[in-house]
Each structure stands twice: as C-alpha cells, then as structure tokens.
Amino acid sequence: MSALKTSKSSYMKFETRIKDPNPHKSILLVIDMQNYFSSIAGPIIPSITKTISLCRHASIPVIFTRHSHNPSIQSNNMLAEWWNNDLVIDGTPEAEIMPEMGRRDGEMVVEKDTYSAFRGTRLEERLREMGVEEVIVTGVMTNLCCETTAREAFVRGFRVFFSTDATATSSEELHEATLKNIAYGFAYLVDCNRLCKCLSI
C-alpha cells in the first residue's frame, strides 16, 4: 500500500499543529526499508529516496534501521507468536537494506528485533551524543515499526516529524489510522513538498 494514495482529507482535521524541522537539530530515520518488505515499500521508493536526498543536501544525518531475528537467540517471543514465526531472518537476502536506498558508507544502521528502533539499540544515547532534538520518520510499516518508533521518540523527549508520503503499510486503512493518531498526539506531519520548501531546496 502506497502512502502516496492517501487522501489528505482523511487526517487533515487532526493535523492542527504545523511545524518545520530544524536541519541543525534533526536526523532522518529510514525504518526497515529491506528486501523482505519490498512489496509494501516499493510504491514509496520515489518519495523516500527524494526525502533522503533532501536531507543529505541539507546536511541532516540519515540513519537506517534493519529489522531481523537470529533463530539461535531467544528474544522477543511475542513477535514470533503474533506473526506465526513469519520473521525476517538475519543473514538472508530478505534482511538486507534495499539497494535502491543508496545507503552510503558511514551512514549508521541500527539493528533491531522488535517494532521500536529505540529498544535495546542505544539509539537514544547516540542521538543525544549527536545533539539531536528532532527525528523525521520514514519507512515501513507505518502502523508498526514507524508508529512505535515515533511514539517512543516523543515520550523520550524528541520532537517528531512523520512523513505521510514516505511511509507505507499493508492497507490504506491502517496507514490513515496511524496518521490520524500520530497527528493528534505525537508528531508533526510532513511530506516531500513540505520538506523541500522548509529546507530551502
């Protein structure tokens, strides 16, 4: 499901707070753009690669996350239970970041095995060390890893910006539900056009 097809009117009434990210205090999080999720992520590749390009041009650091599980390590059993062991297995081609993302040498990859990019990853500590105050969230899946990470960032004291056209999930209904919830209580919504304007590109 592509976020590009989302009707803005579905969440507009909840978007009562408008703000632009500060490029000097922000990072871009690219959540789980991996081969495993290619059918869901495929439609947003143009938007997400444009967002990455905009942020790089504005000297905003780009951080990728990679979701995977090591079968030899017993961890986070609830995901295995919930998804009937249909998991992204570490070391397989499906676990690798999509080549279309064009990740550069030196760009951080946060390894995770659950929905949140903050749980057990030291991401918060790394962001504090970098002087980061704001996070821009993109990637998949809108209602799972993206939403959980955005909520966690908010409660940890980061200002959150959530992309409407560079996030995607398995259905339009789920995508729009997250945008409504996020806009109501956790994050400012952005898209490529808004980022292009506010970053003066």
- Report the distance separating Cα 171 and Cα 190, nearest Å: 20
CATH class of the region 3-198: alpha beta
Q: Say which amino acid occupies 28.
A: L
CA 18 to chain CA mean position, Å: 19
For residue range 108-167, what is the model confidence (pLDDT) as tens digits?
999 999 999 999 999 999 999 999 999 999 999 999 999 999 999 999 999 999 999 999
Query: Which pTM does this prediction carry?
Result: 0.93
- State pLDDT tens for residues 28-62: 999 999 999 999 999 999 999 999 999 999 999 99
Selection from 57, 66, 2 nearest residue 32 by Cα: 66
What is the residue extent of each domain of the chain? 3-198
How many Å apart are CA 90 and CA 68, to the nearest integer? Answer: 5
